[in-house]
Amino acid sequence: MSSNRSTEPIRIGVVSGEPIRLTGLTSIFDQPARDGCPQLVPVTGKLEELLARKALGYLVLDLHSSSFSLDVLDVIRRTRPDLRLIVIGPQGNDQLVLDSIIAGARAYLDHTAGPETVRRAVEVVTEGSIWAPRKLLSRLIDQLLKLPESNPAESSSRLTGRERQVLELIMMARSNREIAEQLGIEERTVKTYVGRLMRKAGADNRIKLSMSALSLSLMEEEKSSSGANPGSKSR
């Protein structure tokens, strides 16, 4: 169960280079909060102004317009590494999703996502979970299964097929009950798998487990990319 049950409103920065899209994005916060959840309040302004507001912990960044390039993600990462991003960008660009996650994104949606989907993604992020395309999560977890097996210690920490399924659903913000129903197993069995995954990742909660999985996957992704082009220069 989420620990974020404060009734204090949560302010969410919203940035878009197109006024019409900005109006549409802010309108998703008009509906009242769900029972037991804090009200989400949009805060608009220029990107640099929102980044300067240290009390602002969340930001919806619309990359749909031509006003923003990929460099903006690097700026955010260097300026506010603590900021949790909800990125809206083009569909089918896995590298952009990876870049967004590296920059601090906890959710990525393509520009065709409807208001309800965007709203739910924001709620999931404020509750401490991750929202990303299932295809990408599967790809990231696949990286965990490709670690070298020459070291027994590394080999013993590899994931089984069932652990991989459970981890993927955890990263999709599914509860233990939902995981049990989807996989057709007992909820107590899911808890056993979650505990085993946490021990392997050295994590003490589901959020750290998800972040650990993403970090390991990204490191392997970067290692593979650098190995594929040995003649490239370091920046």
Domains and CATH numbers, the chain: 10-131 (3.40.50.2300), 136-228 (1.10.10.10)
Q: What is the pLDDT of residue 188?
A: 92
pTM of this structure: 0.60
Q: For residue 88, what are the CA distances in angstroms to 50, 110, 186, 215?
A: 17, 5, 36, 21
Residue 218 and residue 101 in contact, taking contact as beta carbons nearer than 8 Å: yes
Q: What is the pLDDT along the chain (235 residues), one digit of tens a residue?
A: 344 455 788 999 999 888 888 999 999 898 887 777 788 999 999 999 999 998 899 999 998 755 666 678 878 888 888 888 899 988 777 777 767 776 668 888 888 888 888 888 898 888 877 786 666 666 655 654 554 443 333 434 577 888 888 888 887 767 888 899 999 999 999 999 999 888 887 777 776 677 666 655 544 444 444 444 434 333 3
| Residue 84 backbone phi and psi in degrees, to 5 | -95, 115
The full DSSP string for the chain is --S----S-EEEEEE-SSHHHHHHHHHTT-SPPPTTSPPEEEEES-HHHHHT-TT--EEEEE--STT--THHHHHHHHH-TTPEEEEEE-TT-HHHHHHHHHTTEEEEEETT--HHHHHHHHHHHHTT--B--HHHHHHHHHHHTTS-SSSHHHHHTSPPHHHHHHHHHHHTT--HHHHHHHHTS-HHHHHHHHHHHHHHHT-SSHHHHHHHHHHHHHHHHHHHHHHH-TTPPP-
